[in-house]
């Protein structure tokens, strides 16, 4: 949510502003260093980056964390397969799309 610019960040406003400034700078640099992204807005670059890196971020957050098992059990699709204590489904897909559900609905 933070990367995609959709975090509800209810904390300290000064920290929120600093974080957003750093993210804007980071995504501006990504845009400047990739010719394919030149016509995209910073918000579109954020979504592009998230789409390209979602699986790696997911693995970094959940694969080594035993407390994250509550949302790992099932994979998407009609067969409703299970992850069997893995942090990803067959084919390397992530077993949830919580990141596309509005944050306030996940609580």
- The answer to the question of residue 90 being in a domain is yes
For the ranges 5-9, 28-32, 88-92, the one whose mean pLDDT is highest: 28-32
- The answer to the question of residue 40 being in a domain is yes
More confident residue, 27 or 60: 27
- The answer to the question of residue 3 being in a domain is no
Q: Give the closest residue to 60 by CA, choosing from 105, 94, 85.
A: 94
What's the pLDDT score for residue 8? 62
Cβ atoms of residues 63 and 44 within 8 Å: no
- The answer to the question of residue 2 being in a domain is no
Show the domain range for 17: 13-106
What's the pLDDT score for residue 14? 86
- The answer to the question of residue 54 being in a domain is yes
Q: Give the closest residue to 79 by CA, choosing from 91, 70, 67, 69.
A: 91
Q: Map tokens 């949302």 to a residue.
A: 71
Number of structural domains, the chain?
1
Question: For residues 45 and 26, what is the distance between their CA atoms, to the nearest angstrom?
Answer: 10
Assess whether pLDDT exceeds 90 at residue 32: yes
More confident residue, 32 or 4: 32
Question: For residues 11 and 2, what is the distance between their CA atoms, to the nearest angstrom?
Answer: 13
**pTM assigned to the model:** 0.63
What's the pLDDT score for residue 17? 86
Question: For residues 22 and 37, what is the distance between their CA atoms, to the nearest angstrom?
Answer: 19
- The answer to the question of residue 69 being in a domain is yes
**Residue 36: band (very low, low, confident or very high) from pLDDT cuts 50, 70, 90:** very high
What's the pLDDT score for residue 67? 57
- The answer to the question of residue 93 being in a domain is yes
What are the tens digits of pLDDT across the range 46-70?
A: 999 988 988 888 777 766 666 555 5
- The answer to the question of residue 22 being in a domain is yes
């Amino acid at each position: 949510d933070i990367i995609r610019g959709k975090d509800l960040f209810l904390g300290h406003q000064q920290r929120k502003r600093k974080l957003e400034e750093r993210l804007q700078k980071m995504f501006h640099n990504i845009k400047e260093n990739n010719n394919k992204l030149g016509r995209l807005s910073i918000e579109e670059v954020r979504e592009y980056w998230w789409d390209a890196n979602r699986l790696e971020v997911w693995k970094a957050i959940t694969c080594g964390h035993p407390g994250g098992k509550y949302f790992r059990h099932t994979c998407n699709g009609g067969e409703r397969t299970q992850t069997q204590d893995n942090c990803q489904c067959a084919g390397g897909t992530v077993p949830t799309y919580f990141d596309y559900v509005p944050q306030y609905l996940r609580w």
